[in-house]
Structure 1
Amino acid sequence: MTYKVGLLGLGTVGTGVAKIFQAPAGRHPLLPEIEIALVGVRSLNKQRDVAINAEIVTDDLESIVNDPAIDIVVEVIGGIEPAKSLILKAIANGKHVVTANKAVIARYGNEIFTAAKQKGVYVMLEAAACGGIPVIQVLKQSLGGNRISELTGIVNGTTNYILSRMYFEGADFGATLAEAQKLGYAEADPTADVDGFDAADKMTILASLAFGDRIKLEDIYREGIRSITSADINYAKELGFTIKLLGIARRVEAKDAQDRHLEIRVHPTLIPIQHPLANIHGVTNAVRIEGDPIGEVVLSGPGAGSGATASAVVADIINVVAVLKSLPNQINQLMGCSHEHYAKIAPIENTVTQFYARLLTHDKPGVIGDLGTAFGKHSVSLNAILQKNTIHDGLAEIVVVTQKVSELNFQQAIATIRDLPTLHSIPTVLRVI
């Protein structure tokens, strides 16, 4: 029996998928039993980097999800619509779905997985988070016997490239972003990447798998990297840190089971240089997982691109076909989604962490004392304080790193400091892992 795939999209990822199927030698032995039967594109006239029989290419995307001969629909067109509607129609028609669409899954996963469970079909999404790193497979299967306590990741290659260049070359954010756009690492509109939206989408998916509950995207605290300057990078180096955009998801225990909750956030973070994620540079992604009894596991690899994402898509297709061959009338529980309840996620004000703050003050006596009094008033203890001798325009630059403190107390202290007559501005506030 040949299993027929309907491929929605023939862009970067779709082209990569097609090329794998065109050269099956040396790959999984199931590949010859799988056929790309139809390909859906937005424009029939666009030049493409892969040779596809024109007879199977159509711009009628709905005809693919409605075709009774198609067993698996692969959605790699991206965006919210028509991707979401096509996925739901495919499921309604009893077709299995493989998708790389993190935005749709993060926002509409509840609707999609509920529909899939009712129809008895699979929705596979390895390519939706971290590209070529098989982190979803690891969370669903390989670490299935573990109780995950924390998942921390560099899950956006664009921001990691920008911060890596800033770290090694001392360039400012704007110039580095422009270079990333020129090289194709950043989109013309970089908002999704540099403002943390892409990372938040991925953390919605990963946290749901790690902790066994559905996650509401809007409950995740999100902050991007636009405020990071070369000065912050240099101070971080001096203090023994590097700066990364991290997705952080933690289980927070409590004596009363009703008080147990998750902490999920995305923001630029100071990481000690000895931390396993500190030396992940360029467009590479990495995820660190802590679990019982496994301890610590770190996965790293290419987070995007034709090869990495297509690799994950094809692996999902093979997994679906393997199950269909061995269990044709049953559902494999390891591949389905059994989550039914939403996790309780604590507001960012409840977070306890260290903070880094860079302040510009007027060069007058008593400044350090004023800052110390303001911090102390709100129970914020300082771990380190730096004041540079270089003074420009009558201003002094002061950097502080706190001990662990609640977000609420720290922000109250910052509000007090903003009212000090000796303060000029607070250019940067960052969290420390």
Structure 2
Amino acid sequence: MTDYRRLRVALLGAGAVGSQVAALLLRHADELADRAGATLELVGIAVRDLDATRDVELPRELLTTDPEPLLVGSDIVIELMGGIEPARTNLLQAINAGADVVTANKALLATHGPEIFDAADQVGAQVYYEAAAAGAIPIIRPLRDSLAGDRVQRIMGIVNGTTNYILDRMDAEGAEFADVLAQAQALGFAEADPTADVEGYDAAQKAAILASLAFHTTVPLDKVHREGITAIDKDMIDAARHAGYVIKLLAVCERLPGDDDTGESISVRVYPALVDRAHPLASVHGANNAVFVQAEAAGDLMFYGAGAGGVQTASAVLGDVVSAARRHIAGGKGVGESTRANLAVAPIGRVTTRYQITLEVDDRPGVLATVAGILSDGHVSIATVEQTVIEPAPGSPVTPADAPAAASAPAIPMARLVIGTHRAREQHLSDTVARLAESDVVERVVSVLRVEGD
């Protein structure tokens, strides 16, 4: 057997991902040594509770509730605890002790990434985080390394498995949001408190990481426009299907051209959007993730696979561990993050895309002309219009055309307008929808959805 140099590896956290990482490090130690050129010795696993039930049985002697000795005496530290603290403090301590670090902590990187990367740069260490943006999908290295010489124009991705599962089931089964969410929780796809997923926080953290890499610019989390999927209902899903679309929660990161007043900037946003059923992202089902990248020279690239899961995410983590080990063997200073472009992050109002606006209006002559006039005045051009009469509920009164007005008049007949627009600026669209909501002919703005993936 080859006598390899030994590298000390510490693990912080032994949850669904951490326990799988530990098991694979122990089970495949010889294979990993051949790939890395070094023996990866797991010296300890820091946990909160020594007696907690875990998916994988781990050697008791490796478990400890005191991470301190692991942080200062290891060559590679893997952080899979999640959350901000104590993960941030532990990673900084490990970096300052000279260790390379591997993390899947998207929340930490989205909020404290610059601090952690700067600390690593100061001591020549390296931060690896392939599992932080899309689980098992290899997207960090392609953006950071493979496309470093290209000019990424746009990233559009499904980066949250829980919301994709919910929207996919609603589309396939015609079910309501609450029912599918309960199903997702029962299957373990959604947490007991699903807020981070269904309100778009998780996807926004990942979007900030991807945009920072793609555009070589630090993207603060508070600059990411975020909307969740809790307002999506069965009627919206059915209307999307009728129009040839599927609704997906998308992370969109794109380069925006400059104008006379501003230079080139970027937009980073997360929201539910309509995607044409012919687009590759429309065929991403279940809890899977996919990231669609458009680059100036490389063209269109798509990365698809499991966005979550213990053993799947462990694959990405171990890939980083092998890379860290190879770097230790080769020696030299770690490669810092490239964020020197310093592009401005534009507000959502500067984004230009297509929209589908659904309105409930009075069903009488002149309404469509009034609505079209409001859109035209707001610089929003109509591409398509579909009008359907809303049938009155059984037993509701209907007023004959020649009947005299009554003190308590029955409801005016209603219609639903589904308006597709040409590309329009978000600020124009937002102002126009506000005017529509105030119009005497519009009873209700049912929904406004962006159309992505042209």
Please give the range of the TM-score, normalised by the shorter of the 2 chains: over 0.9
Task: Measure the CA separation in 2 of the matches of 1:365 and 1:80.
Answer: 58
CA distances 1:18-56 after superposition (whole Å, capped 9, x unpaired):
121122179542367101111000111112232322222
Task: Measure the CA separation in 2 of the matches of 1:317 and 1:27.
Answer: 13
Aligned CA distance change for structure 1 residues 257 and 8 (closer, same or farther; 3 Å): farther
Task: Measure the CA separation in 2 of the matches of 1:131 and 1:44.
Answer: 27
Identity of aligned residues (%): 40
Task: Measure the CA separation in 2 of the matches of 1:114 and 1:275.
Answer: 39
Q: 1:419 deviation in Å?
A: 1.1
Aligned CA distance change for structure 1 residues 275 and 26 (closer, same or farther; 3 Å): farther
The one-letter code matched in structure 1 to 2:375 is F
Q: 1:341 deviation in Å?
A: 6.0
Task: Measure the CA separation in 1 of the matches of 2:387 and 2:433.
Answer: 18
Matched, 1:48 2:54: yes
- 1:21-420 aligned within 5 A: 21-24=25-28, 27-28=31-32, 29-30=34-35, 33-66=39-72, 68=73, 70-254=74-258, 259-326=263-330, 328=331, 330-333=332-335, 336-340=336-340, 342-392=342-392, 394-420=413-439
Question: 2:164, 2:249 within 8 Å by CA — same for their partners in 1?
Answer: yes
Question: 2:213, 2:338 within 8 Å by CA — same for their partners in 1?
Answer: no
The structure with more radius of gyration? 2
Query: TM-score, structure 1 length as denominator?
Result: 0.94
Task: Measure the CA separation in 2 of the matches of 1:48 and 1:303.
Answer: 21
Q: 1:311 deviation in Å?
A: 0.5
Aligned CA distance change for structure 1 residues 361 and 344 (closer, same or farther; 3 Å): same
Question: 2:167, 2:247 within 8 Å by CA — same for their partners in 1?
Answer: yes
Question: 1:138 is paired with a residue of what secondary structure?
Answer: helix
CA distances 1:268-314 after superposition (whole Å, capped 9, x unpaired):
11111111211111111001111131111101000001111100110
Question: 1:33 is paired with a residue of what secondary structure?
Answer: strand
Task: Measure the CA separation in 2 of the matches of 1:387 and 1:176.
Answer: 30
Question: 2:29, 2:39 within 8 Å by CA — same for their partners in 1?
Answer: no
Task: Measure the CA separation in 2 of the matches of 1:142 and 1:44.
Answer: 42
Question: 2:384, 2:419 within 8 Å by CA — same for their partners in 1?
Answer: yes
Question: 2:286 is paired with a residue of what secondary structure?
Answer: coil
Task: Measure the CA separation in 2 of the matches of 1:137 and 1:383.
Answer: 40
Residue in 1 aligned with 2:12? 8
Question: 1:216, 1:342 within 8 Å by CA — same for their partners in 2?
Answer: no
Question: 1:215, 1:343 within 8 Å by CA — same for their partners in 2?
Answer: no
Task: Measure the CA separation in 2 of the matches of 1:292 and 1:357.
Answer: 32
Q: 1:252 deviation in Å?
A: 1.7
The one-letter code matched in structure 1 to 2:270 is V
How many equivalent pairs are there?
Answer: 427
CA distances 1:287-344 after superposition (whole Å, capped 9, x unpaired):
1111131111101000001111100110000001011112x2x1253xx313256430
Aligned CA distance change for structure 1 residues 366 and 80 (closer, same or farther; 3 Å): same
Query: TM-score, structure 2 length as denominator?
Result: 0.90
Task: Measure the CA separation in 1 of the matches of 2:262 and 2:433.
Answer: 32
Task: Measure the CA separation in 1 of the matches of 2:259 and 2:422.
Answer: 25
Q: 1:93 deviation in Å?
A: 1.5
Q: 1:176 deviation in Å?
A: 1.0
Question: 1:152 is paired with a residue of what secondary structure?
Answer: strand
CA distances 1:171-229 after superposition (whole Å, capped 9, x unpaired):
11111111111111111111111111101100111111111111111111111111111
Question: 1:7 is paired with a residue of what secondary structure?
Answer: strand
Task: Measure the CA separation in 2 of the matches of 1:40 and 1:109.
Answer: 22
Question: 1:298 is paired with a residue of what secondary structure?
Answer: strand
Q: 1:154 deviation in Å?
A: 0.6
The Cα RMSD (Å) is 1.8
- Residue ranges of structure 1 left out of the alignment (5+ in a row): none
Task: Measure the CA separation in 2 of the matches of 1:30 and 1:257.
Answer: 53
Question: 1:2 is paired with a residue of what secondary structure?
Answer: strand
Task: Measure the CA separation in 2 of the matches of 1:275 and 1:381.
Answer: 24
Question: 1:132, 1:304 within 8 Å by CA — same for their partners in 2?
Answer: yes
Task: Measure the CA separation in 2 of the matches of 1:77 and 1:280.
Answer: 29
Task: Measure the CA separation in 2 of the matches of 1:47 and 1:245.
Answer: 34
